[in-house]
Amino acid sequence: MPNNSLEINSADLHARLQAGEDLQLVDVRQPEEFDYCHIPGSLLLPLDELPRRAAEIRAAGPVVLICHHGVRSAQALGYLRHRLAHTNLLNLRGGVAAWAAEVDPTFPRY
């Protein structure tokens, strides 16, 4: 699990989005999970496609990696940080499950 400096919680993410901050949201779940629910504006980039599609993740400006509970997005962060030297990454702690619990009670859960 990444340390806290590499994480963002759902309330902070929501506040930054509401403030209009330019964040790239990258959802690393599978297409059927993304189709069921996702944070608006997210790019679907399944974890298993990350090595060949990494160029779609910007190298400058904050990037928030998202999954169901924060495990796959933490794996994506590790890969991008250690293999490709990205330093602009944040993992959404608790994933979309935390977003549903803490930010949007109408957000679908699974």
| Tens of pLDDT, residues 31-41 | 999 999 999 99
Nearest residue to 61 (alpha-carbon basis) of 88, 86, 92, 90: 88
Cα(81)–Cα(40) distance, integer angstroms? 25
| Tens of pLDDT, residues 50-82 | 999 999 999 999 999 999 999 999 999 999 999
The model's pTM: 0.95
- What is the rounded average pLDDT for all residues in the chain? 95
Is the per-residue pLDDT at 3 higher than 80? no
Domain ranges of the chain: 4-102
pLDDT at residue number 100: 97
Considering only the top CATH level, what class is 4-102?
A: alpha beta
Is the per-residue pLDDT at 19 higher than 80? yes
